[in-house]
């Protein structure tokens, strides 16, 4: 027996689209919002049921948990094929870009909290550590940014030479480092302190100042500048 699999076939009282039209998007649950965007379910499972299943797979973090999903992980969920996987990945990318666009309004490269806010959505959901290099001019305006490392950030693996070759090429006067802690806790490790010291000392030799090293956690950050850790010995 075929069960409902589209919103049109659902009872009016269960239709998120009509609920949104009548009461506004704010009245919808996470699953209802997701079902409006996905539009259709599968044979034997309507779109609202499918949306609830997807969120259940995300665990206790709900919507936030979806940011950790890869294309392959989405496609392992029964009823989520290639088309819905692409829809979901695009929804997540759009949400991250909206958050970044909003943070851009207050972004100032002399203010660590605004830098952390701008890169937060891009970096806090990453499952591996990534290090990003920001290169600035004499007025602390951004010249360019580059992802310079992916993996476990270790003082012996992050090469100052690679950082400063890029900075010199861009004629940067100063730099800022960012990296994420997948654990969600931005507390600097001994390796983080050692990396910061190596890069600061290398920069002093060639005249490019390390202004800050910002570690991104889950909706939290630590700035070496704010914590007076820039000149800490590693």
pLDDT in tens, 89-102: 999 989 888 988 88
Kindly report, residue by residue over 6-52, the tens digit of the pLDDT: 555 555 446 888 888 889 989 999 999 999 989 888 888 888 999 99
pLDDT at residue 53, as a whole number? 93
The model's pLDDT over 118-167, given as tens digits with 9 standing for 90+, comes to 999 889 988 889 999 999 999 999 999 999 887 765 544 678 888 999 99
pLDDT at 13: 46
Task: Single out the residue of 10, 9, 12 nearest to residue 21, CA to CA.
Answer: 12
Token pair in block for residue 213: 């090293």
Distance between first and last Cα of the chain: 68
The pLDDT of residue 89 = 93
CA distances from 176 to 144, 158, 161 (A): 11, 15, 15
81/93 Cα distance (integer angstroms)? 18
Residue 175 three-state SS: strand
CA atoms within 13 A on the CB side of 18: 9
pTM for the whole structure: 0.74
The pLDDT tens digits of the residues spanning 190-233 come to: 989 999 999 999 999 999 999 999 999 999 999 999 999 988 76
- CATH class belonging to 106-223: alpha beta
Category of 219 on φ-ψ map: left (φ > 0), alpha (ψ -120 to 50) or beta: left
Domain ranges for the chain, please list them: 12-101, 106-223
Residue for token pair 């890029």: 166
Nearest CA among 137, 142, 141, 154 for reference residue 196: 154
């Amino acid at each position: 027996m075929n069960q409902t699999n589209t919103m049109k076939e659902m009872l009016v009282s269960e239709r998120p689209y009509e609920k949104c039209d009548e009461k506004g998007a704010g009245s919808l649950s996470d699953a209802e919002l997701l079902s409006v965007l996905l539009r259709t379910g599968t044979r034997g499972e309507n779109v609202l049921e499918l949306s609830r299943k997807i969120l259940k797979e995300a665990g206790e973090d709900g919507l936030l948990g979806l940011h950790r999903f890869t294309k392959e992980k989405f496609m392992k969920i029964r009823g989520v094929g290639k088309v819905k996987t692409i829809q979901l990945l695009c929804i997540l990318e759009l949400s991250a870009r909206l958050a970044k666009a909003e943070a851009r309004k207050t972004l100032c490269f002399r203010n660590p909290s605004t830098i952390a806010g701008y890169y937060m959505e891009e970096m806090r959901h990453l499952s591996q550590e990534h290090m990003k290099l920001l290169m600035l001019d004499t007025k602390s305006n951004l010249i360019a940014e580059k992802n310079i490392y992916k993996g476990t950030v270790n003082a012996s693996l992050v090469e100052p030479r690679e950082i400063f070759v890029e900075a010199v090429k861009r004629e940067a006067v100063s730099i800022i480092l960012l990296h994420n802690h997948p654990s969600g806790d931005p507390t600097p490790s001994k390796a983080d302190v050692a990396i910061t010291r190596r890069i600061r000392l290398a920069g002093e030799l060639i005249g490019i100042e390390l202004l800050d090293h910002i570690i991104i956690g889950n909706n939290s950050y630590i700035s070496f500048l704010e914590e007076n850790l820039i000149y800490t010995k590693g």
